[in-house]
Every structure is written in structure tokens, then in C-alpha cells.
Structure 1
Amino acid sequence: METREQQHQTRVAAPSEEFQMGQTGSAASVAAVACGILLAGRLSLESLMYMGFISMSGKTALTLAALASLSYVICGPLLLQARLTKRIGQMLVDRVLNARCNWESDTLRSFCEVSLWLMVVWSTYVSSEGGPIGLVAALTFGTCAGAVLAVLGELLQQPLRSVERVLRESSARRTRLKTAEEEEETFVTSNIVMLVLFGPTVVSTVYDNCSDMAVLAGILVLGGATILAAARVCQAWEPTRHLGNILQARILNTSENWREHPGRSALESTFFCAVVMGVYELHGDALFALQTGFMSGMSIVIASEVFAHGINFDIKVDDSKQTSVPPVILGYVSFMVLVCFYAREHETVNSAALSVIFNSLLWVILGRCCSAVEAGQHLGQIVNRRALDAAENWTKFPVRSAVECSAWLFGQYIGHRCGSVFASAVIGTAVGIVAVSFSEVTAWHSKKLRRAPQAKKLRGNTIKGKWTWDEVYKHSSPEDAWIVIDGRVLDVTDFAPRHPGGPIILTYAGVDATDQFAAFHRPRVYARLAQFHVGEVVGDKSLPTKATEEYRALRKKLWEEGWFEPRLPYFAFKAVVCLLLLTFVIGVLTYLSPVWILTRTFVAGAAMGIAWQQIAFLAHDADHWGITSPPSGSSFNPLSWFLASVLFGISRSMWNEEHSMHHAITLRPQEDPQFNYLPLWLISKKELDVAGTHVGFLTRMLVSVQHWTFLPVSVVIGRFNFYLISMLSALKRAVTAKNSRELCGGLLDVMGMVLFWTWYVALVCNLDTAAERTLFVLASNWTVGILHIQLVLSHLATETFTAEEERVEQFFAFQLKTSRNIDSSWYDHWFHGGLEFQIEHHLFPQLPRHNLSKVKPMVQEICSRHGIPYRSTSFSQALRDVLSDFRGLAMDIVNLKMG
């Protein structure tokens, strides 16, 4: 094995070797970096001008950028001379000397740094009213901002690389356990991908300054590069990986394709070039020609694969196969029918092709949407199969496929004769569905989709009977998951992916989940457990303690006496308060004179933040079904969605899953998703014992000052971080949905957050200047940032338990030891929104907020009888306890000896 010195020398030598081998690609690399910087500057300038922050000519902006760059270059060596600033100076020097390497290895980071740096330079110059003073201020603040951004870039390097890796790498590569060598490899962004991402700015520049033929040639080249980039993106997702491989092979294996499959290559190339040239000549729009060329290139490649059911058009018909009509012939016929129908109406083949592409996308979207609705799920599956299994359908059922395709195209033609793209889409889709439904009429009656879960079939030779705890524990994987509720063993393997609460159900695979189930489900749900029943558990491994028995008796009593019934007038009053706050904000911004600057910014912003805080409390109540009762057979909560996504601006589905997990495994080290803050904060030394935890330089540095960063990060950054992770989570859920519930949740969250930003931006636009808008946005979001302190204050600086320790404690004692109440008076209960009774809320999550205080004495009695601590302190004391605990953990991480 190599020594550490040898490995280090190998890694040091690698860059120079790569440089020598990659001289031929240096031009593309430099061009890619130049395109990236140009686009970063252009987007920054146009964004500032669009928002009304600045107004300047392009030449002025370019001059400022050049002078700021010179100042940035000079500042680095100067900072290197001082001992305190030597490290920052080295970062600035590295940014300048290794610009190309930085853009290749960390494209996203470099793009963000350049964009934000230029925004600071230009904004400072304009806000200082220009002139020599403005120039000096712009250079000074711009250079300082560059230094700060360089430091932040280093700190956020790994998270930003992770974002790029998610976008670029395949899911198989992400889930593969990395070897030591893989951990050391450099993360490099492909130059061709950078060119495709940043190249459109250059294309528009070429269009403005070059001849038409040069533009056309550039469009063709960039169109091919765009197809290649799309291929790389498709390869990153398992369902589209095969498509990505096909598209990539068309571009990278051009000579081989022409040599082995000349007919196919000629048809695809001619179609692609004809569309690009036709669109450019017809519209004179280079970017539109690029877009249509990209879509047409992808469509003809996909069509050739689908119709040929292979990799070429030059296939020979096997006489031994009983296929009446070769699929490729039917493909040609359908394409010619398309040309005949549309050529006269659209005047160009390109227009007809775009119409078919649009209707194809509509067909796929319709299939997914139908699958998400109970009444149309069977139809949605049929529509999806027609799109996803096109090649198989053409091979096995050529006549049926030809008839359906012809009917679909004929419907589009009829709709187009009405002179409307909308009519073409609607009529074409309707006729296509009728044709598909007619061909599936026999299967429609024999294979009805049953939404109600069927009685489970036991795996293997398993029979209902008695099971020991050791035998139950063997069924603790997602592929074979048993849980125990009230002594009954339930096989939930097939149900787990459909569980409305998300993956939390698998956390208790192989163990007892009696109290967790009872806490989150209504009593009526117990009747549905019979279908999963596989036997009974024997043994005394999980006998309830006396405290647990009293807790269960209290819970049963509360259900029987109607304590879980919400009092609607109470929540109606809360809603009215929120409505009045929102009305006050709208009235101030709309009708108050602009001279009242402080009122229109700080006062209205603070009122907006308080309104958001109270809306968040109502959304929390609603999502726990503490305001309304859940409908039978449905997990969607429309009130919670409206409050959380439309009015508060977060992903309801993400919060629901994470919060359910938090309630069940509160503070479990690095498993509770709402209390997993490494490397920013350390909440327990038990987190360091979790397998795979690495305490590196970044973790040490951030944790060592966590008692100083806790309040600023929670208030200043917490709200904006919530925005970002909510939108990313919703988009990911919609794109990678495995079932209709996930798809609906993701799409509804995206729609809700879009509505939120629509009304919020419209509200902010009532302010006159960019400065007022900025102050209002900061005031509103920083005021609601207090909420993020409230959300964590009731759990931090308490005890933490591993999974094994938690099961020993049992649910009642475990929740008491990981939570605290906040002492409140009658006048400040509204400020805490029910979170002041965190203990009672965790023991009875579905208990309405107005009954938590009444249950508190009953819980305290159980605690006093069994010696279980009941934490309840003031808000200020709880904050002091948390900061003190954070400081102690910070000192521990500083003194930690690294092995």
C-alpha cells in the first residue's frame, strides 16, 4: 500500500499531468469561463435595473466592473502582508490566479460570487450618487464584499458542490459507498455543460454583431451542445438514463453513426438542420431557432428509437416473427400523415413538429394528473403506458398503435382548423383518449383498479401465530417491515410507501410502536389494522412501565370525554386576528402617504412578521388535525396547505413528514430532521458517536462559536433558509414522485408557494423605492425569524437518546425528558401559539391548543408519582440555558483531540 507521502505526491502531480493532457481543451475552458462571467454580470445588472435599484448604461457598468476587478487584484497581495488577514488574502489571490480552475471545479460557487460582488459594486456606486465619492465607495465596499464572499464561498464549498453533484451525477453514483480514492478526486464541471449554461448570452452577442450565416452556424453548433447537455441531465435520473445514453451517443459518436447507420443519420441531421434554418429564416430570432432546434433534434432521435424499436433504421425484417406490419413502416406512415395534414396549414414542417411535441407533453402531463385522482387513476395508468411503453406497444400491437396515433393526429388537425392552438390540444387529446379507451374497453371491465387495500398475503410459508421479539426484529428492513401495536404483529411492507405520514413508519420496523401510533392516529384507524395482522408477539421485552400505563389510561380518557374536539370559535378568533394584521399591512402600504417611511417599512414589516408567526401557529394546529377532523380515507389537509404554503410560504408536505419524524424520534442524534444542524451547531455530544460523523476544520470552527451564532442565524437567516429548502423539497418531490400522493403533494406545494410569492411581491411593489422595499422585506422576515427560536427552544439543552435508549425509557418518559414548557402569563400566550405547552403537545399531538393548559396538571401528577422530571421555565431562562449548553458544547469541540 502507498504511504501518505506517496499519495500526497500523486495528488500534487495529478493537476500538472491533467493540464498537459488537456491542452487541446484549454480554449473551450477559457471560453466557458468567459461566458460564465459575462452571464453573471449581465444577469446581475439586469436584475438590479428590473427591481429599480439602479439605472446605468452598459459602458458605465463595464468600467466599474473593470476598476473593481483591478482593486480586487491589488487587495489580495496587500492582505497577505498582515498576519491577521493573511488567510483571507490568500483566498483572494487564489481566486485571481486560479480563476479557470475555480470555475471548472466549483462553477456554482464562482457564479454566485461574481454575481453578488458585481451587485454590491454597482449598487454602491448608484446609491452614493456617482462621481469620485461614489467610485471610491464602490471600489471599497466592492472589494470588502469580494473578501467576504470568498470566505463564505470556502465555508459553503461542500454544500454547493453537493447541489451540483445532485444535478449532475446519477442516483446510482450518489448512493454508492465511496472509496478513499473517490473521496480525494476533484469535482470538475464539464466545460461543454458550462458553455451550454452560459452560452446563450454569447449567442445573443453574436447575433447582434455577426452575419446571418455566422449566427446560423453558431445556432447549429450550440443546438448540438444543448442536446448533449440534456443527455447528461437525463443520465442523472434513473427513469431517463436510457434516453440520455441514446442522445449522448448521437453527438459523441457522430462518425461511427454515419458509417454504420447512414440512413438514420441522414434523416436525423436533415430534419434538425431544416428546422433550425426554417425557423431562423421565418422569424429571424436566433434564440427561438435554438430552442426549436433543440426540441426537434431530441424529438427526431426519440422518434427513430421508438419507431425502429432498436438503434437504427436499417434493420432487416425477421421472417420468422409473425409481425403483420414492421413497426418502423408504421412510424414512417404516421410521420407522412402528419406532414400531409399540417404542411398546408402550418406552412412549415417545423410548426407541425412543434405542435406534435406540445401535444405529446400535454398527453404525458394528463396521464400523471389522472393518476393522481382516484376517479381517473385507471385511465391515467393507460395513458401513461401509451407514452412510456411506446416502443413495446408498436412492436406487439402495431395496428392498434397506428389507429390510435392516427386518431390522435386527426384530432389535432380538426382543432387546428379552428384556428386555435388550445383547441388543437384539447380536441387532439380528447380524440386520442377516446381511441385509447375504445381499444382498452375489454380490459376496462376486467381489470378495475381497487383503491382499498386488500388483505395481506403472508410471505413465504409464514402463518398467523405467536412471534418472539427476536423474530419480529428480523423484519426491520424496508423490504420486509413488521411493527408491533398493542401486542399485534403487523406486516406493513407494502403499505409503507403509501403511508400518509411518510417514512417514519419504517423507523419502527421490528419494534413496538404502540404509543407512537396512538399519538398520531384517531381511534377509528385501529379498525384498518386487521388487514396487516400476521400474529401476536410473546415475551416480556416491552412490558409497559407504570408511568406508561397511566399515560395510556389518561389518553383513553381524553378521547372518551371529547377533549380532542376542537372549539371552532377559538380558532376563528385567531384567524380574525391574522386577517386584521394582514389588512393593516395592506392598508398602510396602499393608502398611507409615502412620507410615512418608517411606518410603511419597519412598522408594516413588523406587523407582517407577526401575522406570519400567528399564521404559522394556525398551520401547525391544522396539520395536527387540531382544528378540523381528517376525512376518512384521505391524508390531504386543505386548510393546512392554504395556511402553510399559500400564506406562510413553505412546503406543507416537507413540514408534515419532517415534523412527524420529529415527534416520534425527538432529538435522536442526527436522525431527527428538525434538529440535525451539523456542521453549524452541535446539540449533543452523542452526535459525534454516530457512524460516519467527521469533525473537520469547518465543523470545529462553526461549532466553536455556536453560542454566538445561534440567535443571529435563527432570526436573520432562518426564514430565508426555510424558503429555499421548501421550494427545493417540493420540486424534488414532484420530479421524483413514486406515487400519486407524492406527486400531488409536490405539485400542490409548488403551486401554493408560487401563489405566496405572487401576493407578497405584489404587496412589496406598493412601496415606491428599492430602499423601502428592502427595509420592508428585511423587517417582515426578521420579525418572523423569532419564530425559529421558539421552534427549537422547547427541546434544546435537554436530554438526547439513541434508539435503544429511547425504547428503554418508553414514549411517555422519553417525551418528558426531551421537551420543556415555557412559563407564560395570560397576556403572552398568544405570542407562543401553543408551543409553551410543548410537553403536552408531544404527548397528545392531536389535542387542540385550547385544551393543552387543562391537561397540564394531569401530566404533572403522573410525573410526580413516578419521579419523572417536568421542565418548565420562563422564555428568558430557557434561552439562557440553551446558550449556556451551546457554549459548553463549543468548548468541548475546541478541546476535542482528533485521532
Structure 2
Amino acid sequence: MGKGGKGLNTYSYQEVSKHDKWDDRWIIINNEVYNITNWARRHPGGSKVIGHYAGQDATDAFRAFHNDLDQVQKYLLPLHIGSVQKGEVNTNFSLEKDFRNLRETAENMGLFKPSYTFFFVHLAHIIAMEVMAYLTLYYFGTGWIPFLVSVCLYATVQGASPSWWNHMHYQHHAKPNVMGKDPDVRVDQLFVVGEKMPIEVAKSNKSAMPYNQQHKYFFFIGPPLLFPVYFQFMLFRHIFTRRLWKDFIVVMAFYVKFFYLYTSMLGLGWCLVYYEIMRVLESHWFTWVSQSNHIPMDIDRDTAEPWIRLQMKATCDIEKSFFNDWFTGHLNFQIEHHLFPTMPRHNLYKIQPLVQSLCKKHGIPYQMKTLSQSFIDIVKSLKHSGELWEAALHAHHVS
């Protein structure tokens, strides 16, 4: 280790990689080394998001989450401890250079600028569906047909903590499908996913479920219960443990409005039934749409892959169509959404051809599926992972 300019040290990638512990965390951004050990707790995006890159090059992840570099630069300066040694070999240099050029192209095309008209129309159509849900019961009564029609219309409305959602979602984007880091694959209490998790769970002797049947029981405890049970519990747990009283007020405003409007027509008991059915429908939509892009893809421990390879291994796209765009909320462009998480979703399709071209140049698989095939692949991947668990469990017992 030698001295760099202005009295700062220089470090090799290997030296930086050793600083990946909770109480000792360094990261690399644009070949500069930063000690984030103490500051990570105050990181606006959450300590886990930035901590997931401890000991690694976080250049592209940093750029992906921060559109205004000048604003965040003031936070970096006090954390700067040195630079990466000159002459260090970066085997991904060509790929990373091309990806950064692609981002610059997207910026020059104005693809990071939101269309206020798009978001106004989108919000207006959600509000319109909520109003129609109420008017359906108000004008047509509370019989089964208007009741179910109203529930389906209302299932587009969510009442959640912004802080909790960002806490979960930022981690997922930072390290998608990375075991131990992405909360979306922290599911081994109920399911095993990918190629590695089934074997690890089998060898741990902590098997809690008949995972070889998970492709069957998924239909009963996966989509139906994610929102009504797990999300509701984690939502309020996050709010109360972190004392996020502003978020609590926002969430409670949703519940007060809902029960005030619907209890007068349905009574408290049927109002609760209405709410639970609505959450189950919403949960089905969210589970099938979100997991179709990820569960069938590679799931592994953190191997410090460069940003674009990490995202491409963990995501796939669903074909563009008017229905697919609307039904998925433009999450059918999941690859582009993960590569550029701050890009407004109405622009994702515009960058898709350039991403495909970059992937072709560097031999990176780019997967695109039909909506139906993406749903089928969820079940097929669960079945395959369950079979891996069963085989590994048998081999472990025999040995």
C-alpha cells in the first residue's frame, strides 16, 4: 500500500474486499475508496442498501440510485480515504464502459425526465376506479354481484408505508435475487428457490416444509396470503420499531377513509370481509406480476457481479402490448427498470432496443417472454427447486 495524492492511501481491489463486515465497511465509487462504516446508519436510502456493497465496487449501483450527483457529493467527501491502485485489472472494463455510455445516451435522450401528463392520467384512472368501486355499491346495492365488482375495482388501491416500501424495494434493486441480501428471496421458511437454496436448506436439517410439493401449495399460501398476512405484519412492524409516526398517519388515513365510507353500507363485519377479499386479489396480482420476472431466474449468493450482469441474471422482460403495459404497470420492462431504477416507467420501452444491442455485443442473455409463459415459469421453477431439495435431502440422509 503506497501513498496517493493529497496524503491519501491507495488500495487494491483485494484490500477493499476485506472491509465487508457490519462494523468495517468500505466501498469503491469511480475508483475512489470510501469508508462508510459509521455513516451508513444515516444513509437516506437505508443502511442495508449501501451496506450490501461493502467491500465491492458500487459505481454503477451508486449512479443508478442517484440522479443528482452534485447533491450527494457533499456526503462522500468526508468519507473519502483513498483511491484504487493504478494498474489494477478490471476484467469488466469494456462492459462497464459501454453501459455507462448507454446511461449517458439515455440522459441525453431525456429518458430520465418524467411526463407529468402520464402520471396525472395514471393517478386519475386509479382514483376513478376507487370512485366506481364505491358508486357500484351505492347505486346497485350490496348484493353479491355488485359486491364482487366493487372489490375488484378497489383492489387497485393500496395503503402502505412509503418508508417500509422503499426499505424493501431498494434492497431488492441493489442486489436482486441475491440470497441474504434481497428480501424478496428470503423465503426459505415456506419455499426454496433457485439452484443453491434448495441444497443449502436440505443440508441444514432445518427443513420446515415439504418443499417437493411447493409448486402445489404455492397457490394456497403464496399469492393469497402475501398482502393480507405477511405485508400487513411487516408494514406495521416496520412503522412501530422505527417510530415512523408520519407513515403511521398516512397508513391510518387510508383505513379511516375506507371504513368510514364502507361501514355505513356494509356494516363492520362485511366491511372487513370486503377488505380481506380486496387484499387477496391485490396480493394475487402483485405476486404473479413481480415474481414472474425474478423467481425463474438465477438466485445465488453474492458474487460481486458488475451491475449489468447482476441485473440481467436476475430479471427478464414480458412482451410489450397495451394490456401487458397496463396490467403490469410497465413492470413488463423489468430488465430496463432494474438497470435504470430511477427512469420513469413510461420511458422504459424506449431504452429497450439499446439494452438489447448492448447485451448482444457482450454475449449477455436477454430473456423476453409472453405473459402466460412467465406465469407458467413460476410454477415450473418452484417444482424444479423442490425436486433439487428432495434429492439433496435424500443424499444428505444417506451420507
Same fold (TM over 0.5): yes
Mean CA deviation greater in 662-671 or 858-867:
662-671
Given that residues 20 and 55 in structure 2 are in contact (C-alpha distance below 8 angstroms), is that contact kept between their aligned partners in structure 1?
A: yes
Larger radius of gyration: 1
Q: How far apart are the structure 2 equivalents of 1:833 and 1:672?
A: 22
Q: Could you tell which deviates more after superposition, 474-483 or 497-506?
A: 474-483
Partner of 1:677: 187
Q: Is the 8 A contact 1:670 1:687 kept in 2?
A: no
Ranked by relative contact order (alpha carbons within 8 Å, sequence separation 6 or more), the top structure is 2
Matched residue of 1:670: which SS? Answer: coil
One of 58, 73, 80 as aligned partner of 1:533:
80
2: CA distance between counterparts of 1:494 and 1:770?
Answer: 49
Residue 261 (structure 2) pairs with residue 763 (structure 1): yes
Tell me: CA distance 1:696–1:779, structure 2 relative to 1, closer, same or farther (3 Å): same
Distance (Å, rounded) in 2 between the aligned partners of 1:659 and 1:777: 24
Of all paired residues, the percent bearing the same amino acid is 27
Q: 1:480 to 1:709 in 2, by over 3 A?
A: same
Partner of 1:748: 246
Identify which of 289, 297, 306 aligns with 1:790: 289
* CA positional deviation for 1:689: 5.9
- The one-character-per-residue Cα deviations of 1:599-627 (angstroms, maximum 9, x if unpaired) are 43101011001x22xxxxxxxxxxxxxxx
* 2:161/2:235 contact within 8 Å kept: yes
SS at match of 2:225: helix
Unpaired stretches in structure 1, ≥5 consecutive residues = 1-461, 613-647, 735-745
Question: Partners in 2 of 1:491 and 1:572 — Cα distance?
Answer: 42
Provide the residue aligned with 2:169 in structure 1.
659
Q: Relative to total residues, which structure has the larger helix share, 1 or 2?
A: 1
Please state how far the C-alpha of 1:870 moved relative to its aligned partner. Answer: 0.6
Match runs of 1:182-261 below 5 Å: none
Q: Distance in 1 between matches of 2:24 and 2:207?
A: 40
Counterparts in 2 of 1:828 and 1:684: CA distance versus 1, 3 Å: closer
Structure 1 counterpart of 2:218, which letter?
F
Matches within 5 A, 1:384-463: 463=7
> Contact conserved, 2:188 with 2:201, CA < 8 A, in 1?
no
Number of the residue aligned with 1:779: 277
Amino acid at match of 1:656: N
Is the CA contact 1:483–1:491 (under 8 Å) kept in the aligned structure 2?
yes
Matched, 1:694 2:241: no
2:322 is matched with: 826
Please state whether the residue corresponding to 1:835 is helix, strand or coil: coil
Secondary structure of the 1:767 match is helix
CA distance in 1, matches of 2:14, 2:95: 25
Whole-angstrom CA distance in 2 between matches of 1:695 and 1:685: 17
The structure 2 residue matched to 1:598, chosen from 117, 124, 144, is: 144
Q: Tell me how large the CA RMSD over aligned residues is.
A: 2.3
Distance 1:714 1:761, change over 3 A: farther
For 1:560, the equivalent position in structure 2 comes to 108
2:31 to 461, 465, 487: 487
Deviations 1:221-257 (A, max 9, x none): xxxxxxxxxxxxxxxxxxxxxxxxxxxxxxxxxxxxx
- Runs of at least 4 residues of structure 1 off by over 6 A? none
Shift of 1:784: 1.0
Report Cα offsets for 1:847-898 as digits up to 9, x if no partner. 0011100000000001111211111101110111121111122222223223
Aligned partners of 1:727 and 1:753 also within 8 Å: no
8 Å CA contact retained: 2:194, 2:300: no
Is the counterpart of residue 588 in structure 1 residue 136 in structure 2?
A: yes
2:369 is aligned to 873
- The C-alpha deviation readout for 1:261-313, integer Å capped at 9, x for no partner, is xxxxxxxxxxxxxxxxxxxxxxxxxxxxxxxxxxxxxxxxxxxxxxxxxxxxx
- Distance change >3 Å, CA 789–CA 758, structure 1 → 2: same
Displacement of 1:770 in angstroms is 6.4
Give the corresponding residue for 2:127.
579
1:706 matched to 2:214? The reply is yes
The answer as to 2:15 corresponding to 1:519 is no
Amino acid at match of 1:853: Y
Instruction: Give how far 1:511 is off.
Output: 1.7
Give the one of 826, 841, 851 matched to 2:347.
851
Count of matched residue pairs = 384
The residue identity in structure 2 corresponding to 1:715 is: P
TM-score by length of 1: 0.41
Contact 2:160 2:251 in 1 (8 A): yes
- Aligned-residue offset at 1:826: 2.0
Stretches of structure 2 that go unaligned for 5 or more consecutive residues are 1-5
- Of 303, 313, 325, 1:817 maps to 313
Matched residue, 1:465: 9
| Alignment of 1:550 onto 2:98 | yes
